């Protein structure tokens, strides 16, 4: 069974641009979560989707948004990029979205904002 696939693997953008990251979960998984990883802040939860509905959202500004499609694939978008948005963005999928559910992580998208 294929793992969680994130594309692109690396991305370089300039301040003010917007970016869209993609995540394909493990087949049969209906929940997708996004995390931002930076050296200073560590891993921080962005949002979680289940069956195309956002179920939970972290403490990030409205520039960060996401969505989930009927095939469970998810995208996240960051508008008006800032230097501080440079990070590794990790997507995780799980079969359901329940507490204690095992998360399977992708290798991430490394975003650099210049």
Partner 1 sequence: AQSVTQPDIHITVSEGASLELRCNYSYGATPYLFWYVQSPGQGLQLLLKYFSGDTLVQGIKGFEAEFKRSQSSFNLRKPSVHWSDAAEYFCAVGADSGYSTLTFGKGTMLLVSP
Report the residue from 24, 33, 72, 74 that binds partner 1 according to the rule CB under 8 A. Answer: 33
Q: Could you tell me how many residues of this chain bind partner 1 (CB under 8 A)?
A: 28
- Tokens encoding 32: 């997708």
The least distance separating partner 1 from the CB of residue 12, rounded to whole angstroms, comes to 16
- Tokens encoding 52: 């195309």
The least distance separating partner 1 from the CB of residue 18, rounded to whole angstroms, comes to 24
User: Does 51 participate in binding partner 1 (rule CB under 8 A)?
Assistant: no
Taking the C-alpha atoms of residue 30 and residue 9, their distance in angstroms, rounded to an integer, is 22
Q: Are 46 and 62 in contact (CB under 8 A)?
A: no
The least distance separating partner 1 from the CB of residue 13, rounded to whole angstroms, comes to 20
Going by their DSSP bridges, the two strands 31-38 and 42-50 should be labelled as antiparallel
Question: Can you give the binding site for partner 1, defined by CB under 8 A?
Answer: 4, 31, 33, 35, 42-45, 48, 55-56, 58, 90, 92, 94, 96-108
């Amino acid at each position: 069974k294929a793992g969680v696939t994130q594309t692109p693997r690396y991305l370089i953008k300039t301040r003010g641009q917007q970016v869209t990251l993609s995540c394909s979960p493990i087949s049969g998984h209906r929940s997708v979560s996004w995390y931002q990883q930076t050296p200073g802040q560590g891993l921080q939860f962005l949002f979680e989707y289940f069956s195309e509905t956002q179920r939970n959202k972290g403490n990030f500004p409205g520039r960060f948004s996401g969505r989930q499609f009927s095939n469970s694939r998810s995208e996240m978008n960051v508008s008006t990029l800032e230097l501080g948005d440079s990070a590794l963005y990790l997507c995780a999928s799980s079969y359901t979205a329940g507490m204690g559910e095992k998360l399977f992580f992708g290798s991430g998208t490394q975003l650099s904002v210049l």
